[in-house]
Chains A and B, each alone.
Chain A
């Protein structure tokens, strides 16, 4: 049995224009104990609403929420063994850091000494030892983030909800915090539900990614599944750089299929369920291509320097949209204007199940 079972969760809002908008449109999701699940999706797809429904700040119009098999959907927020790290941190500015962190124990009337001990321990865990007497406004953004985290984990919740907790931090700090969060999650043994719209962040941190779109779940899977085997064009384009080709299958040749685009670009794909004459959509990631002596003839139009790698935009000679590829940067790396050939592993193309 999963730690949290969400069944057919629905929540509608009435927009200012008077129409109804389903922020959650039949969500089914299981979250396992000690699992790191990321909710990913474009702005307005319902990530925050789902998180708030789990925490108890939104009531569901219909559907159930069960924690360890007990229905919690009617419990008020303060009764749920679930804690939240808010995007705005929501630290209590009139309390010291130590009192902020110890708040969950304070309201449960935990004895002062026990509380102080626990606070010191948690502050140590998030790397803020000795900062207990400060006020939240005497801390940097990253430190506030840690206080919010410490405050949320001190009560040992079953489930920790994090709504874009890193979005206010600069890139370096964000990457550092990503690693720390992941480590912390492992040592604490708490399940994390993490919201982000940064796909890179989702790929690095998650055990499973839930891709949402307009109140529905589009796909659930491990980062690799989501990246390598997106179910739909939406997922493919949302996660990472994508080259998308709409092709017509010419013939099946053993385990491969030969196909061409409307522009006449010829591609080899894994046969899968392809049938001759059928139309399918094919995903090739920039890293799937390599520059070689033969393959798709093309001209480099633009090169973007990324440090050790180069991001190249190449125009196939037969026409059609540009293809984006990555290549290692070196003295022999192609320049804009160079003629190149693109090769790829015939197993690499991913055929989308749905349009």
Chain B
């Protein structure tokens, strides 16, 4: 019944497709274990040196020209990671609350200019990062807010709220409105219905939105670059700074660790979702 030729073509197409997506990642992971410090395209032998160097364990690999070490300071990198985690944690929390509340309000209450709000909430997602970044910077400077971790968090919330909103809104749209009516019918006030029925029913969407927001926040370079000021560096900004001075083997190690973290977060998301499903 199946056309074997078509089938083979489809298989080939999918293989090429996946190769295209995953090959760069695999290359990075591979090179992160390559001991050749000069030319990382040339395989020498397997090593954990780059990881050890990163984490400040063992000896840091020296620049072949003996000028400087690759990662100037493990402390700086760890500080950047800490900033990233704090920014991501706080802005995810704030934007999850804002995004969820907005999605519920827009789906369940009638008020004027609803369509306007709906469109407006999409805008931060569609807007080029660079525009948003410059806009935020000009705004902060005009209003006189000193650039700090706070401005990074505010900046991230502006667009993360939109992502959470979109995901929670999709979940609400698929929800039977009779569920909330049934709750009210059985004597629950709106507040109790929100707590006992609506939020638990939306939980997979809210969690999914929060995970996505976290990952996007951890990953953001452009907007953070504009609003971070001088004292705060997030991990992506830090890495960007390193790369400007050439792609060094330790970058591969950092990238591999980030890939690992993303995969873990994605797996957590999938696991939570499958647990919710039954």
Pair from one complex: yes
Residue numbers of A with Cβ under 8 A of B are 55-57, 76-78, 82-84, 86, 88, 90-94, 103-104, 106-108, 135, 137, 151-152, 155
Partner of A155, one of B187, B196, B276: B187
Known: A107-B192, A137-B278. A90 touches B187 (CB 8 A): no
Partner of B188, one of A78, A84, A135: A78
* New A-B pairs, 5, CB < 8 Å, besides A76-B184, A86-B181, A107-B186: A78-B184, A78-B187, A90-B181, A94-B200, A151-B186
**A94–B192 touching, CB < 8 Å:** no
**A103–B183 touching, CB < 8 Å:** yes
Q: Kindly list chain B residues whose C-beta atoms are within 8 Å of the C-beta of A56.
A: 184-185
Q: Kindly list chain A residues whose C-beta atoms are within 8 Å of the C-beta of B11.
A: none
**B176–A88 touching, CB < 8 Å:** yes
CA distance A84 to B185 in the complex (A): 7
* B264 in contact (CB, < 8 A): no
**B182–A86 touching, CB < 8 Å:** yes
14 contacts between A and B (CB under 8 A): A55-B185, A57-B181, A82-B185, A83-B186, A86-B182, A90-B176, A91-B182, A92-B182, A92-B183, A93-B201, A94-B203, A107-B183, A107-B186, A152-B186
Q: Kindly list chain B residues whose C-beta atoms are within 8 Å of the C-beta of A88.
A: 176, 178
Q: Kindly list chain A residues whose C-beta atoms are within 8 Å of the C-beta of B39.
A: none
Partner of A83, one of B185, B188, B196, B201: B185
Closest 5 CB pairs of A and B: A90-B178, A90-B182, A104-B186, A107-B188, A77-B184
User: Which B191-206 residues have C-beta < 8 A from chain A?
Assistant: 192, 196-197, 200-201, 203
User: B162-197, CB under 8 A of A: which get 1 and which 0?
Assistant: 000000000000001011011111111100100011
Q: How far is the CB of A109 from chain B (nearest CB, A)?
A: 10
Q: Kindly list chain A residues whose C-beta atoms are within 8 Å of the C-beta of B183.
A: 92, 103, 107
Q: Which residue of B lies closest to A81 (CB)?
A: B187
Q: Which residue of B lies closest to A57 (CB)?
A: B181
Known: A86-B181, A90-B181, A135-B278. A103 touches B186 (CB 8 A): yes
Q: How far is the CB of B154 from chain A (nearest CB, A)?
A: 34
**B181–A77 touching, CB < 8 Å:** yes
Q: Kindly list chain B residues whose C-beta atoms are within 8 Å of the C-beta of A78.
A: 184-189
Q: How far is the CB of A137 from chain B (nearest CB, A)?
A: 7
Residue numbers of B with Cβ under 8 A of A are 176, 178-179, 181-189, 192, 196-197, 200-201, 203, 276, 278
Q: Kindly list chain B residues whose C-beta atoms are within 8 Å of the C-beta of A137.
A: 278
**B182–A84 touching, CB < 8 Å:** yes
Q: Kindly list chain A residues whose C-beta atoms are within 8 Å of the C-beta of B181.
A: 55, 57, 77, 84, 86, 90
Q: Which residue of B lies closest to A94 (CB)?
A: B200
Q: Kindly list chain B residues whose C-beta atoms are within 8 Å of the C-beta of A106.
A: 196
Question: Which of B178, B187, B188 has most chain A Cβ within 10 Å?
Answer: B187
Question: Which of B181, B186, B201, B276 has most chain A Cβ within 10 Å?
Answer: B186
Q: Kindly list chain A residues whose C-beta atoms are within 8 Å of the C-beta of B278.
A: 135, 137
CA distance A103 to B178 in the complex (A): 15
Q: Kindly list chain B residues whose C-beta atoms are within 8 Å of the C-beta of A82.
A: 185
Q: Which residue of B lies closest to A135 (CB)?
A: B278
Q: How far is the CB of A191 from chain B (nearest CB, A)?
A: 16
Known: A78-B189, A86-B178. A92 touches B197 (CB 8 A): yes
**A92–B184 touching, CB < 8 Å:** no
Q: Kindly list chain A residues whose C-beta atoms are within 8 Å of the C-beta of B186.
A: 78, 83, 103-104, 107, 151-152, 155
**B182–A107 touching, CB < 8 Å:** no
Q: How far is the CB of B256 from chain A (nearest CB, A)?
A: 38
Q: Kindly list chain A residues whose C-beta atoms are within 8 Å of the C-beta of B196.
A: 103, 106-107
Q: Kindly list chain A residues whose C-beta atoms are within 8 Å of the C-beta of B179.
A: 90, 92
Q: Which residue of A lies closest to B177 (CB)?
A: A90
Q: Kindly list chain B residues whose C-beta atoms are within 8 Å of the C-beta of A135.
A: 278
CA distance A58 to B182 in the complex (A): 14
Q: Kindly list chain B residues whose C-beta atoms are within 8 Å of the C-beta of A93.
A: 201
Q: Kindly list chain B residues whose C-beta atoms are within 8 Å of the C-beta of A151.
A: 182, 186
Question: Which of B181, B185, B197, B203 has most chain A Cβ within 10 Å?
Answer: B185
CA distance A57 to B184 in the complex (A): 9
CA distance A106 to B181 in the complex (A): 16
CA distance A29 to B176 in the complex (A): 30
Q: How far is the CB of B148 from chain A (nearest CB, A)?
A: 41
CA distance A91 to B176 in the complex (A): 10
**B187–A108 touching, CB < 8 Å:** yes
CA distance A137 to B179 in the complex (A): 15
Q: Kindly list chain B residues whose C-beta atoms are within 8 Å of the C-beta of A57.
A: 181, 184-185
CA distance A106 to B183 in the complex (A): 11
Question: Which of B176, B178, B182, B189 has most chain A Cβ within 10 Å?
Answer: B182
Q: Kindly list chain A residues whose C-beta atoms are within 8 Å of the C-beta of B192.
A: 107
Partner of A107, one of B187, B201, B203: B187
Q: Kindly list chain B residues whose C-beta atoms are within 8 Å of the C-beta of A83.
A: 185-186
Q: How far is the CB of B195 from chain A (nearest CB, A)?
A: 10
CA distance A84 to B186 in the complex (A): 8
Q: Which residue of B lies closest to A92 (CB)?
A: B197
Question: Which of A88, A107, A108 has most chain B Cβ within 10 Å?
Answer: A107
CA distance A83 to B186 in the complex (A): 6
Question: Which of A78, A88, A135 has most chain B Cβ within 10 Å?
Answer: A78
CA distance A90 to B192 in the complex (A): 17
Question: Which of B184, B188, B200, B278 has most chain A Cβ within 10 Å?
Answer: B184
CA distance A26 to B183 in the complex (A): 29
Q: Kindly list chain B residues whose C-beta atoms are within 8 Å of the C-beta of A152.
A: 185-186
